Amino acid sequence: MLKARLLLPFTIFLILGCTPKSDVRSITFSGLGTVLNVVYLGDEDTGVENEIKADTAAVEDDFSYYRPDSWISKLNKNAAKEPVAVPAHVCRLIRESLELGEQSGGYFDITYKSQGALWEDNKGTVPTDSELEGKKQFVGSDKVEADCEKNLVKFKYDGVKIDLGGVAKGYAIDRAGAILKKHKISDFIVNYGGDMLVCGKKNGKNWTIGIKNPENPQQMLKKIEFGSENECIGIATSGDYERFFTIDGKNYSHIMNPKTGKPVKNVHSVTVTGRNATITDLAATAAAVAIYDEAAVKKIMEKFAVKIYSLSGDERFLIDWQQ
């Protein structure tokens, strides 16, 4: 199972090669708390580019935990009091997230935020076990009802909070891909902060994605080629090498274990490939939480039909879970 003994975390990057620049279009913009990039082949189409930008901004407006007017904020404020009517796509993503979270064995759970918020709101101190235990009753997929025939969402208790940050970026990527396909653009990569949707080919050749050492750009751990006229592949990475928060001088991962209410430890990076970006975004988070439970990781691979590559532990070995 051990494929390399490299002592540094890895990241994903796109290898464009020497394809003529006139054939490759690229736009870069900001959103979802990161840098967003879309590469596509064909004639420049500013109308499509602007549609993607507007749609991605709309996803952030709808699903951001931190925006007071988002649907997530409205639900967290009101859904325990009475059912809240939401747009159909909001209801569908919430319901899908709940269902897929159950399939992950509970390693992904959008209701983790009731405990997770303590790490943000506790005025710079680590939450006590007693404080986390007091919020445990609000965590679990059974605490949220999503009736998508009526597009109503209801929380079981006052105190339940949801956060779709572990799936919304992948969802936005898939929507961007759908826009490109709608306009007959079939060869492209949507890359939002390192999470991607790879579709088609690059002038008849496979797209190549590299897993590299971020502190040594010349050191590549693995190359993965993708290319099919009729298929897209999602890619997502979760880990603590870029995103973390600090309390009393100690770094903590931004990835929370919904089973404990605490940040995961020694999970440097987990990369997942699968059938779309929504699935891989969610599965990368679940796998990062479950990474020290081999049976759980293999269950996630089976349930979501994904491939997993990880770096964890003190020695940071690269593990190809397919081997």
What CATH number is given to the structural domain containing 289?
3.10.520.10
Residues 112 and 116: their CA atoms lie apart, in Å, by 6
Q: Is residue 109 within 8 Å of residue 140, measured between CB atoms?
A: yes
In the three-class reduction of DSSP (H, G, I as helix; E, B as strand; rest coil), residue 53 is classed as helix
- Tens place of pLDDT per residue across the chain (323 aa): 222 223 333 445 555 554 444 489 999 999 999 999 999 999 999 999 999 999 999 999 999 999 999 999 999 999 999 999 999 999 999 999 999 999 999 999 999 999 999 998 876 789 999 999 999 999 999 999 999 999 999 999 999 999 999 999 999 999 999 999 999 999 999 999 989 999 998 888 888 888 765 555 576 777 888 776 678 999 998 877 666 778 888 888 889 999 999 999 888 888 999 999 999 999 999 999 999 999 999 999 999 999 998 876 665 567 888 86
Instruction: Say if strands 24-31 and 11-15 run parallel, antiparallel, or are unpaired.
Output: unpaired
The dihedral region occupied by 26, where left means phi > 0, alpha psi between -120 and 50, and beta the remainder, is beta
Total domains present in the chain: 1
Residues 138 and 128: their CA atoms lie apart, in Å, by 17
pLDDT for res 315: 55
pTM of the model: 0.90
pLDDT for res 38: 98
pLDDT for res 242: 63
Which structural domain range is residue 171 located in?
2-320
**For residue 187, what are the CA distances in angstroms to 68, 79, 200, 227, 316?**
37, 41, 4, 9, 35
pLDDT for res 52: 98
- Closest by alpha carbon to 162, among 191, 141, 176, 193? 141
Residues 74 and 69: their CA atoms lie apart, in Å, by 7
Q: Is residue 257 within 8 Å of residue 105, measured between CB atoms?
A: no
Q: In sequence order, what are the residues at sequence separation of 6 or more whose Cβ sits closer than 8 angstroms to the Cβ of residue 129?
A: none
